[in-house]
């Protein structure tokens, strides 16, 4: 295994997760926390819950975007270093859910930032969330490969 392959493998093996509660009802958040418990233990896949976008690879968002918190979501996304992947957990994050028509709600988070993985459910099950995160880790690896090519172009 050469260095290049090892680096790519590292991206897949070590996705650090940042969880942002975008005015969610806390249903999905509890399920995300459940992923960290001994029963599900997402650290098996090297996933660590970090509190800081600057250290994160995967942004997990729950809840709908409204006018108040869209800037916060955007700022957090911007402060993550490339490559980065966004996972929308729950139906609110995906489409806006039952709050879709509320006067203050924009809709799903893809109105503000690009989303790579949608995990449906109200709330989403921990199994589904871990599956989504695993997919996100694979996307992370792909994005790294693309980023390498882009950098070569830049040089």
Q: Does residue 20 contact residue 29 with C-beta atoms inside 8 Å?
A: no
Using the minimum distance from each CB to another protein, give the nearer residue, 81 or 114: 81
Give the nearest distance from C-beta 98 to another protein in angstroms. Answer: 25
Give the nearest distance from C-beta 66 to another protein in angstroms. Answer: 14
Q: Does residue 25 contact residue 124 with C-beta atoms inside 8 Å?
A: no
Q: Does residue 86 contact residue 61 with C-beta atoms inside 8 Å?
A: yes
Distance CA 101, CA 107 (A): 8
Q: Which of 96, 82, 84 is nearest to 60 (CA)?
A: 84
127 is an interface residue for another protein by CB under 8 A:
no
68 is an interface residue for another protein by CB under 8 A:
no
Stretch that binds another protein, among 39-47, 94-102, 105-113, 123-131 (CB under 8 A): 39-47
Using the minimum distance from each CB to another protein, give the nearer residue, 103 or 154: 154
């Amino acid at each position: 295994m050469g260095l290049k392959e090892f680096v790519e493998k590292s991206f897949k093996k070590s996705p650090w997760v940042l969880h942002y509660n975008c005015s969610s009802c806390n249903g999905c958040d509890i399920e995300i926390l459940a992923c960290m418990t001994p029963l599900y233990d997402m650290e098996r896949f090297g996933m660590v819950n970090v509190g800081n976008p600057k250290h994160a690879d995967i942004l997990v968002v729950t809840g709908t975007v409204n006018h108040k918190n869209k800037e916060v979501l955007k700022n957090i996304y911007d402060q993550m270093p490339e490559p980065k992947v966004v996972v929308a957990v729950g139906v609110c994050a995906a489409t806006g859910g039952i709050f879709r028509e509320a006067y203050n709600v924009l809709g799903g988070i893809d109105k503000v930032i690009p989303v790579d993985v949608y995990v449906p459910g109200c709330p989403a099950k921990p199994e589904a969330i871990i599956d989504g995160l695993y997919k996100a880790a694979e996307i992370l690896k792909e994005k790294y490969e693309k980023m390498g090519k882009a950098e070569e172009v830049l040089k």
